[in-house]
Amino acid sequence: MEFAQQAERSIIKKYRRDIWNPFIAAVKDYRLIQEGDRIAVCISGGKDSMLLAKCIQHLQKYSDFPFEAEYLVMDPGYNPENRRKIEENARALEIPIRIFETRIFNIVSKMDRSPCYLCARMRRGYLYKYAQELGCNKIALGHHFDDVIETILMSMLYGAQVRTMMPKLHSTNFPGMELIRPLYQVKEADIIAWRRYNGLEFIQCACRFTEDAAREHSASKRQEIKDLIAQLRKVNPNVDKNIFHSVERINLETVIGYYKGKEKHHFLDDYDNADE
């Protein structure tokens, strides 16, 4: 069996319960992929986006309804070694990538504050633009279950609000475009297990700030949250699932206030008219 087939087959065989089933559940639960969609699968070169590409490829073959997919790699200024690694992995996994180049790393390198945030925003804008030019109506990103629960806790502990990373979003700057996250229910540990099982090595961030980021790794807010969740799991193995489901079960009658759009609501607004 060829390597690409083996890697794809492992998703639906060995990792069916941990990867394929959660992937399909997210696609169905959140109606992420529909008939006639043309999806730009955005590949950074890391484990998450490469797995996403293989899942989308397999779904395309056996889906009950037709949809199309493009596999996009945006080169923001990778060094030759990282660019080569992405191309080699794509060939090995038989992912037909389209590479387009930008100067994001050069632009971000001149910024003193929040380079990672700016880089992420610029990447998304370029991906939307290029995907739209290819006739796509959706871009698919490789965010997974752990990204979701970390975002929930970060918003509470550092942002004083309850927010989550949504499974899909309408683009505000590119009319008719949507962002979808098909790995929404897939845990990072299972993605790592799939990578190791198939002997795959992927790039990580690959930007020129990576070394500095690595030195400051322990101080990053997201890493603090990762460590916190790991500690909480030792006390309650289901804590990650509970965090995930907490934002599905918010009872507005039990919160002090909330926003809908830009409109703020407070529990006292209707308090005197409500039955006890």
The domains found in the chain, sorted by start residue, are 3-152+159-216 (3.40.50.620)
Helix (H) / strand (E) element for 259: namely: strand 257-260
SS (H, E, C) the chain: CCHHHHHHHHHHCCCHHHHHHHHHHHHHHCCCCCCCCEEEEECCCCHHHHHHHHHHHHHHHHCCCCCEEEEEEEECCCCHHHHHHHHHHHHHCCCCEEEEECCHHHHHCCCCCCHHHHHHHHHHHHHHHHHHHCCCCEEECCCCHHHHHHHHHHHHHHHCCCCCCCCEEECCCCCCCEEECCCCCCCHHHHHHHHHHCCCCCCCCCCCCHHHHHHCHHHCHHHHHHHHHHHHHHHCCCHHHHHHHHCCCCCHHHCCEEEECCEEEEHHHCHHHCCC
Name the pTM for this structure. 0.91
132-154 average pLDDT score: 97
> What's the CA dihedral at 261, 241, 47, 95 to 10 degrees?
-70
Res. 76 pLDDT band, cuts 50 70 90: confident
Contact between 122 and 111 (Cβ < 8 Å) = no
| pLDDT above 90: residue 32 | yes
Cα–Cα distance, 20 to 12 (Å, whole number):
6
205-223 average pLDDT score: 58
| pLDDT above 60: residue 136 | yes
Tokens 């975002």 sit at which residue?
151
| pLDDT above 90: residue 119 | no
Predicted local confidence at residue 118, as pLDDT: 75
71-88 average pLDDT score: 92
Res. 113 pLDDT band, cuts 50 70 90: low
Res. 217 pLDDT band, cuts 50 70 90: very low
Predicted local confidence at residue 243, as pLDDT: 98
| pLDDT above 70: residue 226 | yes
Of 159, 221, 147, 218, give the one whose Cα is nearest residue 188.
147
